[in-house]
A and B are shown apart, each in its own frame.
Chain A
């Protein structure tokens, strides 16, 4: 996302994330400037998501950089890392990780985007770059997460923001 300065670019970037997540949760998204050009966007705690099948927790962490980009006449915020994790909370017993979409090229031996499935441990399933909007749709469609918005509203938001992702992403 582009802006006249770093703050504006990151604000817009975080705004898209916040808006997409509003489809499933009212929770705040936090933004933190970790260094001159690096910003972290995340839920303070995994958020509770109600499903017809029970209770889930969903955790989001995105790291972006905000760098000057002449093409946009200012600064552009770009995703550098992400983690989207779904955890099932059983009625009895410990919470268990269902899946995690990860891309953390700087802090791991595994530099490419991948998927963890809780039921098949130790395997990093390779993926393309996954956009948050697709994950949110998956949660609603396949995990029965109850949307917080009317159908027409969340579909409009997620389609709009996915178009923005496709327009702005430098690689997928």
Chain B
């Protein structure tokens, strides 16, 4: 255990849309072998509706990062119980 180490400051860096799009594009190519734009188009058309991380590792992270419409699965939004 590195008991002598002191606290380090690791950064938070804000990025712009262009850089975010580049990251999504790189992830899409790495995970699915397609461009970020193609991933978004395919997602909107429902192609990945049933794809989960078991079948395709990294696809959920990609979907979270990509500029996808909310509630794109077409399911009705249900209010979470406050219980």
Hey, which bits of chain A sit against chain B, CB under 8 A?
11, 14-15, 18, 21-22, 25-34, 40-42, 44, 59, 61, 63, 81, 83, 85, 87, 97, 100, 102, 104-109, 111, 116, 121-122, 146-153, 157, 171
Asked whether A21 lies within 8 Å of B3 as measured between CB atoms, the reply is no
Task: Chain B residues near A146: list those with CB within 8 A.
Answer: 2
Asked whether B61 lies within 8 Å of A83 as measured between CB atoms, the reply is yes
Sort A-B residue pairs by CB-CB distance and give the 7 closest, nearest first. A121-B54, A32-B20, A22-B10, A61-B64, A14-B12, A106-B70, A97-B57
Asked whether B15 lies within 8 Å of A30 as measured between CB atoms, the reply is yes
Q: Which of B32-75 contact A (CB under 8 A)?
A: 49-50, 52-54, 57-58, 60-61, 63-65, 67-68, 70-73, 75
Q: Is the interface of B mostly helix, strand, loop or mixed?
A: loop
Asked whether A40 lies within 8 Å of B64 as measured between CB atoms, the reply is yes
Q: Residue of B at shortest CB range from A120?
A: B54
Known: A30-B14, A106-B71, A107-B68. 12 other contacts (CB 8 A): A18-B10, A22-B8, A26-B10, A28-B12, A30-B12, A31-B12, A42-B64, A59-B58, A85-B53, A147-B5, A149-B5, A153-B7
